[in-house]
Amino acid sequence: MITEFKNNFENCFLYKYFRIFLICIFLLNQFSLNTYAELLQDKLKDSHSERIDVTFKIRTPSQAFQPSTLKGIKLSPNNALVFDFILDPGDDSSDQNNLKIIGEKLIKYFLAALTVPEDEMWVNLSPYEDDRIMSERFSQTDMGRDMLTQDYLLKQFMSSMMYPEEEIGRQFWERIYAQAYQQYGTL
DSSP H or E segment with residue 20: helix 13-43
Is the pLDDT at 118 greater than 90, yes or no?
yes
Instruction: Report CA 117 to chain centroid distance, whole Å.
Output: 21
> Mean pLDDT, to the nearest integer, of 93-113?
89
**Cβ contacts of residue 110 below 8 Å, gap of 6+?**
70, 85
SS3 of 109-152: the string is HHHHHHHCCHHHCCECCCCCCCCCCECHHHHCCHHHHHHHHHHH
- Amino acid symbol at 32: S
CB 116 within 8 A of CB 141: yes
Cut 0.75: pTM above it:
no
The pLDDT tens digits of the residues spanning 48-70 come to 344 566 666 777 777 888 889 99
CB 90 within 8 A of CB 68: yes
Give strand pairing partners of 69.
88
For the chain, the average pLDDT equals 79
DSSP H or E segment with residue 158: helix 142-162
Give the span between the Cα atoms of 93 and 83, in whole angstroms. 22
Phi and psi for 167 in degrees, rounded to 5?
Answer: -60, -50
**Cβ contacts of residue 102 below 8 Å, gap of 6+?**
68, 87, 92
CB 162 within 8 A of CB 172: yes
Tell me how far CA of residue 92 lies from CA of 15, 60, 98, 125, 136, in angstroms: 61, 21, 8, 30, 32
The pLDDT tens digits of the residues spanning 127-178 come to 788 788 899 999 999 999 999 988 888 888 888 888 888 888 899 999 999 9
pLDDT on residue 46: 43
